[in-house]
Amino acid sequence: MTVTIVGSQLGDEGKGALVDLWGGNADIVVRYQGGDNAGHTVVEGGEEYKLSLVPSGAVRGKVGILGNGCVVNPRTLFDELDTLRERGLDPDVRVARRAHVIMPYHRVLDGIEEEAKSDDDLEAGTTGRGIGPTYEDKVGRRGIRVGDLLDPDVLRDRLEYVVPQKRAIVEDVFGLEAGEEFDIDALHEEFAAVGRRLAEENMTVNAGDFLGNELDDGSNLLFEGAQGTSIDIDHGIYPYVTSSNPTAGGASTGTGVGPTVVGQGEVVGIVKAYLSRVGTGPLPTELDGADEDLADYIREKGGEFGTVTGRPRRIGWLDVPMLRHAARVSGFTGIAVNHLDVLAGLDEVKVGDAYELDGERLETMPATTERWAECEPILKSFDPWPEVDWAAVADDGYDALPDGAQTYLDYVSDEVGAPIYAVGVGPDRAETIELADPFERTA
């Protein structure tokens, strides 16, 4: 059976924490899209792990798979594995042979294109990891796949076709100098060695077959979404998006497990109790202008600084039309709401309940980002809840939550049309109130 974890908003909803919590009942944790643009945090007994590529199940010693829908930077992967080993973990990560490889030139091109777009305010504020250029090459049928690294002749053929084109883009389109990242021999040497290491460590896999066999044997698979619905390439606020499908459909195309299998399982939307955003683009419920002090307060209290880049995150009230959109796109069977503790002690808690656009009330997101930018949030106020001993509340369960927080959660669950499976009241695994284990619901 499968459980799919999906970000409901703009990324950084606390997916890593829930993957860690429910990973206890999983046999295998699978990333199905994205790459090292992700930054997933797991805190266990005060130990903090920040994972960008290794699936979060590694903290619990689960087998991790990077599915075919991922883009893999081998340098990051090996660095992260080495760091985890130095910290005493023994991660077992296998990479789909169909996954695409982020090459050094992809990172360079990511930077160049963001810079060029910034003249027209069209840059997405990417993480600079080369994600977009790698997916472009995948779709353009000129990418390099993990399987290609295993055969030096295939790798050379691929490089000889693609690298001169990349060099020409840098030199002839952008008028810049192409560096060593565009040197075929150097690339071949480095990436053939990557292929040898992957083979020696038995790290590559035909992921779809492997996962299919595991399912036949009764294994529990946890699909770990990265990013979030509103930065999905199809369903997000284009062009201020990432280049993959974090939504639940991606769990099928990005792993080789059929949509009927994913759909028989649970799909859990992870919701942050307010909004945070690294990157550019409109944000109707943003706390800015007169509300900047409040945004600063929430940012500091919630530690809202990018896991990957350290950038301060923009802050907004919960955007409920965004959640309704997310629930439909992915078909949430349940949700987890995190960061309830961060909103404690405010004078007033608000949400964007709907939008006003051209004098009309909208319950969900318009399809173009330009129209979304014109939306005025219709705010709804909630009674605040006090600061309490969250560790004690986490021990005592849902009924121990302050009344105001319960009212807020009931409202969110009603609007999204899905029950609450977990509530986060702090970063640690022990600071999560678990109402349901999705693996037990699918059993």
- Active-site residue list: 12, 40
Return all residues near 64 (Cβ < 8 A) that are at least 6 apart. 28, 29, 30, 31, 54, 55, 57, 58, 91, 92, 93, 94
Which range touches ligand GDP (CB under 6 A), out of 10-18, 108-116, 284-292, 399-407? 10-18
Which range touches ligand IMO (CB under 6 A), out of 5-13, 162-170, 257-265, 421-429? 5-13
Please give the angle made by the CA atoms of 206, 212 and 215, to the nearest 5 degrees: 140
Q: What are phi and psi of 334, to 5 degrees?
A: -165, 170
Q: Which residues pair with 314 in a beta bridge?
A: 277
Q: Indicate the residue whose CB is closest to ligand GDP.
A: 424
Instruction: Measure CA of the first residue to CA of the last residue in the chain; give whole Å.
Output: 8
Instruction: Please check whether residue 436 is in contact with residue 418, taking contact to mean a CB–CB distance below 8 angstroms.
Output: no
Nearest to 149 by CA among 105, 195, 182: 195
Q: How far is the CB of 86 from ligand IMO (least distance, A)?
A: 23
Q: What is the token pair recorded at 440?
A: 């037990």
Compute the CA torsion angle 152, 156, 157, 163 (nearest 10 deg).
150
Q: Which of residues 187-246 bind ligand IMO (CB under 6 A)?
A: 226-228, 231, 240, 242-243
Which range touches Mg ion (CB under 5 A), out of 7-15, 260-268, 287-295, 337-345? 7-15
Return all residues near 210 (Cβ < 8 A) that are at least 6 apart. 65, 94
Pick from 307, 318, 319, 355 the residue near ligand GDP by CB under 6 A. Answer: 307
83 or 219, CB closer to ligand GDP? 83
Q: Which residues pair with 34 in a beta bridge?
A: 70
Pick from 39, 265, 284, 426 the residue near Mg ion by CB under 5 A. Answer: 39
Length of the chain as a residue count:
443
Q: How far is the CB of 191 from ligand GDP (least distance, A)?
A: 28
Q: How far is the CB of 104 from Mg ion (least distance, A)?
A: 24
Question: Residue 423 and residue 385: Cα distance in Å, rounded?
Answer: 15
Q: How far is the CB of 226 from Mg ion (least distance, A)?
A: 8
Which range touches ligand IMO (CB under 6 A), out of 19-27, 33-41, 71-79, 366-374? 33-41
**How many residues interact with Mg ion (rule CB under 5 A)?**
3
Q: Which of residues 366-425 bind ligand GDP (CB under 6 A)?
A: 424-425
Listing DSSP states for 149-166 in one string gives HT-HHHHHHHHHHHHHHH
Listing DSSP states for 384-430 in one string gives ------HHHHHHH-GGGS-HHHHHHHHHHHHHHTS-EEEEESSSBGG
Using CB under 5 A as the binding rule, whether residue 307 contacts Mg ion is answered as yes
Pick from 37, 204, 230, 252 the residue near ligand IMO by CB under 6 A. Answer: 37
Pick from 302, 316, 321, 334 the residue near ligand GDP by CB under 6 A. Answer: 302
Pick from 55, 132, 316, 404 the residue near ligand IMO by CB under 6 A. Answer: 132
Q: How far is the CB of 308 from ligand IMO (least distance, A)?
A: 7
Using CB under 6 A as the binding rule, whether residue 338 contacts ligand GDP is answered as yes
Q: How far is the CB of 97 from ligand IMO (least distance, A)?
A: 23
Which range touches ligand GDP (CB under 6 A), out of 8-16, 98-106, 185-193, 229-237? 8-16
Calculate Rg over the CA atoms of the chain: 22
Contact positions vs ligand GDP (CB under 6 A): 7, 11-17, 39-41, 43, 302-303, 307, 338-339, 341-342, 424-427
Contact positions vs Mg ion (CB under 5 A): 12, 39, 307
